[in-house]
Amino acid sequence: MKVEIDHKSGFCFGVVNAIKKAEETLDQGEKLYCLGDIVHNGMEIKRLEALGLVTIDREEYLNLKNCRVLLRAHGEPPSTYEHARANNIELIDATCPVVLKLQQRVKQAYEQMEAEDGQIILFGKKGHAEVTGLNGQTKDQSIIIEGEEDLKQVDPNKPAFLFSQTTKSIDQFQQLAQKLQENAKQPLTVKDTICRQVANRVPRMKEFASQHDILIFVGGKKSSNARFLFDVCKQTNPDSYFISNLAELDEKWFKNKQSAGICGATSTPQWLMEQVAERIKTL
């Protein structure tokens, strides 16, 4: 059987940067905390925890003092930085540059809308770390749109800015923008803030999935990007399977197949895809 890894999938540059910063800091031998999962992939988290990284939640962070804390690529609200300043916490800031720029744009738009009695609309997943960081730029006053049922929160009689979480679907964002434009009675400024490094993976995934008899998508259960990209593969190739580790591979899937493709999400490490490829070759 031919087994091929899609080398254009896997970690995006924001995740690569965050993991590099974590490894460099851990190499210095000092204790390093990470606020939230550094990446939505359990296998990679285990690898880094074996090197000494300690993953903490927000409640644990608020009880820390005099230590080092890594901020992952997703970004953080201003309150995280305020707590660090007040408690002698050294922040290793690995916020993705694309997310950091978006935070600045959301903050500027919020200040403008505050003066005009307007509103900030964020297209994204409620509770997602990136969305929490973006909402923090507006003092948690944004209207977060996850699905159509959330549209009723938008006041068509007020001016608004529309932004998107960087990893959302371009098509879905454009559909949302169109609906809001149709209902708006005041100016609506639409800002397409979707990361093209992530979005451009969709046509690549379709092409790669169509080239193989079976497709194995490797991703973390918590990753919204993984679920989204896997759906793209599944629609193109019905013989697509989502796994998070080697134990989930099923020998029956490969019966009478001539070629297998392996790909992953922006949070999937290359080493894990390579392990999956080696295991398939032994089946």
**Annotated binding-site positions for dimethylallyl diphosphate:** 40, 74, 128, 223-225, 267
Instruction: Report whether 161 contacts 191 (CB < 8 A).
Output: yes
Going by the annotation, the residues of the binding site are 12, 40, 74, 96, 128, 166, 195, 223-225, 267
Going by the annotation, the residues of the binding site for isopentenyl diphosphate are 40, 74, 128, 223-225, 267
Per the residue annotation, which of 130, 146, 148, 207 is the catalytic one? 130
Annotation says 130 is catalytic? yes
The residue type of 203 is: P
The residue type of 76 is: E
Strand partners, 224: none
Which of 95-134 are b and which e, b meaning 16 or more Cβ less than 10 Å from the residue's Cβ?
bbebbeebbeebbebbeebeeeebbbbbbbeeebbbbbbb
| HEC secondary structure over 163-195 | EECCCCCHHHHHHHHHHHHHHCCCCEEECCCCC
Query: Catalytic residue positions?
Result: 130
